[in-house]
A and B are shown apart, each in its own frame.
Chain A
Amino acid sequence: MRDKFLHAPEDLDPFATERPRLDDALSRRVNADPERLERGLAQLVLTVVELLRQLMERQALRRIDGGGLSEDEIERLGRTFMELDKRMEQLRTEFGLDAEDLNLNLGPLGNLL
């Protein structure tokens, strides 16, 4: 593998967090039960919800940047997005999905998220 390093910093540790993901992906793939439509459906629904969540969040960030919101409004918005974020994470865990599973390849248009 080392001969694949074309340019690498001295300290590689921060990059090494990948392994658990690979293991997860492998075990998930092996254990995947084709009969379980539920997970596929959940993946599709959560993908749409995640898209909307990200769009709304970006909109909120733009409004904060624009300076048109009071502190109270920012706090309320932030709390809402924080709760949504947590809830999404719970749902993902429940269905054994990770963030990358909630993305769609749209061919020539690139990725959805």
Chain B
Amino acid sequence: MIDLYAITDDPGPPLPDVADLSMVASHGLAVVCAPVAPSDGRELTPEVLWRHEEVVEALMEDRDLLPVRFGTRVEDETAAARALGERHDELARALDRVRGAVELSVRVMGEQPEEAPIPDDVTSGADYLRAKVRSAAAHEEVVKAVHDPLNADARASRELGASAPGELLRAAYLVDRGRVSAFVDHVTLIQAAQPELRLLCTGPWPPYSFTEA
């Protein structure tokens, strides 16, 4: 079995010296893969995920790519070539969309992250709805103050659902490689203007959130 890591252009720069990588090419596209390590059994741990991520990031340094979902395995290189051939046009278009760009992640926390948007002890229906109104309004304000201006700096963006208590925004931005530092400067400016919020910007990541249309 082989693990698939990324879809890239063919030909491309030489492969980085990690994980015994090889390329299977088909009509201008290539899938980067490596034999499944024998130690790579069924144990699924954050460390295994990070190892996958490191390979994709090493590739990302000098080429455009579509990251392949962790755990995507095929029988052999013939099967990899077939998979690539079957979705060639779709993958080529998707690769074009992320060409020259990376993903940056932005998360925004409110002032009191320990406070759930809806307190657990609410028993009055009216209080419950008012708390909902307040949290919807807070989200809208953050969208206006943070998301809209950052979105203008990005080629594309996707708002991902908030996943932690007190989280007001969680979004991914597809940013041209040359504009990453300008984007980060913009985050810093927004943070300065909104001291009551806490902004976390991470990246550059492979364009995980932008591999589909």
Contact = CB atoms under 8 A, between A and B. Distances in A.
Given A14-B113, A75-B125, A78-B125, A4 B203 contact: yes
A48 interface: no
A110 B161 contact: no
Contacts, number: 104
B149 to A, nearest CB: 14
B7 interface: no
Contacts of B59: none
Interface stretch (B14-22, B24-32, B38-46, B75-83): B38-46
B132 A57 contact: yes
B37 interface: no
Contact of B128 (A9, A14, A26, A82): A82
A23 B158 CA distance: 24
Contacts of B130: 64, 78
A37 interface: no
Contact of A5 (B122, B188, B202): B202
B133 A65 contact: yes
B contact face: mostly helix, strand, loop, or mixed:
mixed
Contact of B132 (A6, A9, A61, A107): A61
A36 interface: no
A41 interface: no
B208 to A, nearest CB: 13
Contact of B161 (A29, A76, A103): A103
Interface residues of A, number: 43
A86 B133 CA distance: 18
Interface in A57-113: 57, 60-61, 64-65, 71, 74-82, 85, 99-100, 103, 105, 107-108, 110-111, 113
Nearest to B123: A82
Interface string B138-172: 00000000000000000000100101111000000
A75 B188 CA distance: 42
A5 B203 CA distance: 7
Given A7-B191, A29-B44, A61-B133, A12 B126 contact: no
B129 A11 contact: no
A21 B199 CA distance: 21
A61 B129 contact: yes
A81 B132 CA distance: 10
Contacts of A29: 44
29 contacts: A5-B201, A6-B104, A7-B188, A7-B191, A8-B200, A9-B198, A14-B198, A15-B198, A18-B163, A26-B46, A29-B44, A30-B42, A57-B132, A61-B136, A64-B129, A64-B133, A74-B129, A75-B124, A78-B126, A78-B128, A79-B128, A80-B125, A81-B128, A81-B129, A82-B122, A107-B212, A107-B213, A108-B213, A113-B161
